[in-house]
Amino acid sequence: MGIALAGDDVTSRGPVRRALDLLYLGAGYAAGAFMVAIFAIMMIMSIGRQFAVNIPAGDDFASWCMAAMAFLGLAHTFKRGEMIRVGLLLERLHGRSKQVAEVVALGIAAAFILYFTRHAVQMTYDSWRFNDVAQGVVALPLWIPQLGFSGGLVILSIALIDEMVSVISGNRPSYEKGSADETPDEFIERISQGGGG
């Protein structure tokens, strides 16, 4: 399966780069699958009311799918440049100073996400270790739905570290969509067409 990002030469990418890109893409597809699952659960619950059909703990399953969808989609969204970023300072910098600022920003983001990831993984592990179960109608072990939350944060941590290493190596951040010589009019046109900032 050839997955090429914009401007990539597929033949020049190594196995680690391909594996990481597949990880981010797979997490994005998993997030999409959970979105479809939410839709299916909500439709079955809505239509089922008309025929006295009920999904036990349907609301719980929908909320677990929502959490998995939100967190599993983070890395793919970040790498594709679709995540909201505030670049008021970075957009004014150029050359080496911009590269240093990008590395600092990615380092701070990675530190925060690694902190949250450590606690999310610990919570999931503790739920497994203590055999915590959901308090609703279906006594599902809590570590199962928590895997989407903690797994999404682990993948986002990998994506941030990957991006930081790439920028330190002198590459342009993958989340930047516009070209370096883009005019303000071209920027506005790209944003108005949903191209992200």
Q: What is the percent of the chain with per-residue pLDDT over 70, rounded to a whole number?
A: 81
Residue 141: its pLDDT value, please? Answer: 93
Q: Work out the mean pLDDT of the chain and round it to a whole number.
A: 84
pLDDT higher for 32 or 194? Answer: 32
Residue 169 and residue 197: Cα distance in Å, rounded? 23
**pLDDT tens string 109-157:** 999 999 999 999 999 999 999 999 988 788 899 999 999 999 999 999 9
